[in-house]
Amino acid sequence: MTEQNEAVWVGVDLGTQSVRALAVTASGDVAGAGSRALTGRRDGPRHEQDPEDWWTAVGAACREALRDVPAQAVQAVAVDATSGTILLTDDGGRPLTPALMYDDTRAAGHVQRVNEAGGEVWRTLGYQRMQPAWALPKLLWLLEHHPHGGARLAHQSDFVNRRLTGHPVAADLSNALKTGADLIAEAWPADVLDALGVPADLLPPLERSGTPLGAVCAAAAEATGLPEGTPVVAGATDGCAAQLGTGRLTVGSWNSVLGTTLVLKGVSDDLVQDPFGVVYSHKAPDGRWLPGGASSTGAGAISRDFPGRDLADLDRRAARHEPAAALAYPLVPAGERFPFLAPDARGFRLDGTSDEADDFAAVLQGVGYLERLCFDHLDLLGAPTGGDLTLTGGAARSRYWCQLRADILGRPVVLPRQAEPALGAAVLAAAPGRDVAETAGRMVAVKAVIDPRPEKTAVFDAPYLRLVGELERRGWLPAETAAHARERTSR
């Protein structure tokens, strides 16, 4: 419950399947929430959405969230969005192309050229090379296939912020990373983009997350219910917003977002260098670094393999299969991005028993093993990993899966009371003029801490190492990461 006129900050999360809006007080109470579904089009490596659908869904979600919130209580709004999703717009912000989504890999043929032109910058930034789903290769594809006289690049959040303010806006550094922004210089690498034929006037200016971009215009106020004049603040990618929404922003803290896919994001004083090119670092509003990576493995395997099933019942039955007889690498699309880069990787299940509960347990455990391998890879790179670990995303609603992940990782996990990127966006909305870590600490509450069961952690070592060996044998996992995983397990 909140006071009638208590100040609130609005966070809007543009996800793959829905838009979510939260109105949040300074102490973290939710004064209102709203959501609307999104749909997309998938065809092989292509994944598109209609940007106009985003705006329609944002308007409906915000109106729902603000239904019982007095206009004078709304202090600011910020938007987070999927990382690497882009489109071209005209001067008025109207879409000229569909949106190429975060996991669209149609631009794979442009990656070599991108990495040849920008390799020195990418190495300086620690991620070594761009991947097929990143935004810069997709931008080259768009420029090749669509007339672009007078066009403008827009990231997903840029498109919405442009509609909110009624004028062109800067892109936040977080979303601009995969488009090639130099996060050290906080500028576009002009020589690289010129070599790639990207017109300079196509690109938006850059700002850090948490920077004011403008104010809600009259048309946007009518569409969303946000009061005209409400400050619009630069947001972040959904992974970075999820990290901010955990309230854990000390060095060595990590957030693991498990939804359709698995995304890890941490906090470091120093830029993490990854010679294998799977860890990349965003820049936090306070100038520190947010290293992390996004796996293609996640709960999407459950949606695919167990549609319409009673998941709570399957959780209870899976608890009798620790470890499962089957060993699963639950990859849904082709290709892995983290903790190793393998475009030809495919999911697999070994030694299946045709027992539904065991198969379900194998998927839950397989995701846990990949999560553990992510931390082994981060440790290999020297990234600080010893702080708090929070679990967020849709999978955090399963208490059993959270317990299982704590057991497999052998470390406590923290469950925030309100675990979602929209809360992190609300933190950013409240950040201008304040310390973002202190702001997040006040706005985020802990629901529970789950400790690993001492008798269980060792039970999962053998199947974990078997999966490591299988991934290495297939040529997907680098020998260095595999050896480090074995060494850490033997400690």
Write out pLDDT tens, residues 346-405.
999 999 888 999 999 999 999 999 999 999 999 999 999 999 999 988 899 999 999 999
Rounded Cα distance, 86 and 79, in Å: 15
| pLDDT of amino acid 135 | 98
pLDDT in tens, 91-128: 999 999 999 999 999 999 999 999 999 999 999 999 99
Specify whether 201 is located in the same domain as 85. yes
First to last CA, the chain: 48
Query: Is residue 442 one of the residues assigned to a domain?
Result: no
Query: Is residue 192 one of the residues assigned to a domain?
Result: yes
> How many folded domains does the chain comprise?
2
Query: Is residue 367 one of the residues assigned to a domain?
Result: yes
Last residue of one domain, picked from the residues 194, 213, 237: 237
Specify whether 215 is located in the same domain as 289. no
Query: Is residue 436 one of the residues assigned to a domain?
Result: no
| pLDDT of amino acid 352 | 82
Is pLDDT of 321 > 90? yes
| % the chain with pLDDT above 70 | 99
| pLDDT of amino acid 4 | 65
Which candidate, 422, 404, 224, 413, places its Cα nearest to that of 314? 404
Range of the domain at 106: 8-237
Whole-prediction pTM: 0.85
Which candidate, 199, 395, 224, places its Cα nearest to that of 301? 395
List, in sequence order, every residue forming a beta bridge with 80; answer none if it has no partner: 13, 236
Mean pLDDT of 466-478: 98
Rounded Cα distance, 87 and 101, in Å: 9
| pLDDT of amino acid 129 | 92
Query: Is residue 445 one of the residues assigned to a domain?
Result: no
Which candidate, 444, 377, 368, 462, places its Cα nearest to that of 411? 368
Is pLDDT of 2 > 60? no
Please name the residues in contact with 152: beta carbons below 8 A apart, sequence gap of 6 or more: 88, 89, 90, 91, 93, 168, 202, 204
Which candidate, 489, 491, 442, 439, places its Cα nearest to that of 466? 489
Please name the residues in contact with 154: beta carbons below 8 A apart, sequence gap of 6 or more: 51, 86, 87, 88, 89, 93, 162, 204
Mean pLDDT of the chain: 95
Mean pLDDT of 234-263: 90
Query: Is residue 225 one of the residues assigned to a domain?
Result: yes
Specify whether 388 is located in the same domain as 407. yes
Last residue of one domain, picked from the residues 202, 219, 237: 237
Specify whether 196 is located in the same domain as 158. yes
Mean pLDDT of 216-241: 96
Specify whether 251 is located in the same domain as 223. no
Q: Are strands 8-14 and 74-81 parallel, antiparallel or unpaired?
A: parallel
| pLDDT of amino acid 353 | 84
Q: Which segment of 137-151, 191-205, 455-469 scores lowest on mean pLDDT?
A: 137-151
If pLDDT is split at 50, 70 and 90, which confidence band does 1 have?
very low
Specify whether 129 is located in the same domain as 219. yes
Specify whether 187 is located in the same domain as 279. no
Q: Dmax of the chain from CA atoms?
A: 64
Task: Give the residue carrying structure tokens 């809600």.
Answer: 216
Specify whether 98 is located in the same domain as 228. yes
Specify whether 12 is located in the same domain as 157. yes
Specify whether 337 is located in the same domain as 222. no
* CA atoms 77, 83, 89, 95: torsion sign: negative
Specify whether 197 is located in the same domain as 285. no
pLDDT in tens, 120-169: 999 999 999 999 999 999 999 999 999 878 899 999 999 999 999 999 99
If pLDDT is split at 50, 70 and 90, which confidence band does 247 have?
confident
If pLDDT is split at 50, 70 and 90, which confidence band does 458 have?
very high
Specify whether 209 is located in the same domain as 266. no
Query: Is residue 285 one of the residues assigned to a domain?
Result: yes
Last residue of one domain, picked from the residues 211, 237, 263: 237
If pLDDT is split at 50, 70 and 90, which confidence band does 320 have?
very high
If pLDDT is split at 50, 70 and 90, which confidence band does 255 have?
very high
CATH number at residue 192: 3.30.420.40
Query: Is residue 409 one of the residues assigned to a domain?
Result: yes
Most confident of 150-164, 243-257, 423-437: 150-164
List, in sequence order, every residue forming a beta bridge with 22; answer none if it has no partner: 11, 33
